[in-house]
A and B are shown apart, each in its own frame.
Chain A
Amino acid sequence: GQNIDQPTEMTATEGAIVQINCTYQTSGFNGLFWYQQHAGEAPTFLSYNVLDGLEEKGRFSSFLSRSKGYSYLLLKELQMKDSASYLCAVKDSNYQLIWGAGTKLIIKP
C-alpha cells in the first residue's frame, strides 16, 4: 500500500529552527510537495522537490532523498504565524497526490 508518515505534532520556540520529517512509500514517484494549512483553511503551497537535494525559499527549505524515501521541511526564524499544520504529499506513478496526515506545529513565545 501507499503510505506517508510524518510526526503528528511538534513544538518549537519563536525565533528558533524546526525540521519536520516525512517518509514515504508509494507506487512510483513524481514529486514531493509541502503545504501549509491553517486551521479551517485550505492548504497553501510551500515547496516542490522532484530531484534529490535542498530547495531553499526564504525562511523555508525542503530536502529530498529519493533513495531513502525521505524529505524534510526546515523552517528558520520561526514566527508565531508559522503555527499551522504542515502537509507532506507525494505524486505517485498515476500523478495522484498521496497525502500525509500533517504535522501540527505549535510555536511558543
Chain B
Amino acid sequence: GAVVSQHPSRVICKSGTSVKIECRSLDFQATTMFWYRQFPKKSLMLMATSNEGSKATYEQGVEKDKFLINHASLTLSTLTVTSAHPEDSSFYICSVTANTEAFFGQGTRLTVV
C-alpha cells in the first residue's frame, strides 16, 4: 500500500486569508494525486486531479483560481485555498491510487471565521 501524509489536520483562519494544505506520498511515487472536499454528512466530492509537473485538472464548478494546486514533485502536492470565505469551511482530503486502491491522507478540517 501507500502511506499518505496530509498537513495540517486542523486549521482555523480568518476570512480573506489563504491556507495551504500539503499532501505527501511517503513511500510511493505519485504522478497523480486527488483532492476531495467533504461537507458534513455528505459524500466525498472530487475537486481536482493533481498531475506532477503539469497543470491540475479541475472538476466542473471548482474555481481553479481559488483552489490553487501545485504538484512539483512525485511525493508532494499542495492545495491553497485563496481568499477563504466561511463557505469554504469543509473537510479536505487528498488521495493517491496504487494498484486500484485509493489511499487517503488524514484530512484537513478547515474552518474559516
**Chain A residues proximal to chain B, CB less than 8 Å:** 4, 31, 33, 40-45, 48, 50, 87, 89, 91, 96-97, 99-102, 104
Contact = CB atoms under 8 A, between A and B. Distances in A.
A41 B106 contact: yes
B38 to A, nearest CB: 9
20 contacts: A4-B43, A33-B102, A40-B109, A42-B104, A42-B105, A42-B107, A43-B44, A43-B104, A48-B100, A50-B100, A87-B43, A87-B44, A89-B102, A96-B46, A97-B44, A97-B102, A99-B45, A100-B43, A101-B41, A102-B43
Interface in B37-57: 41-46
B112 to A, nearest CB: 17
Please tell me the size bucket of the interface on B.
Answer: 10 to 19
A101 B43 contact: yes
Contact of B100 (A31, A40, A44, A101): A31
B28 interface: no
Contacts of A45: 101-103
B25 to A, nearest CB: 14
A42 B106 contact: yes
Interface string B37-79: 0000111111000000000000000000000000000000000
Interface string B82-101: 00000000010100000011
B107 A97 contact: no
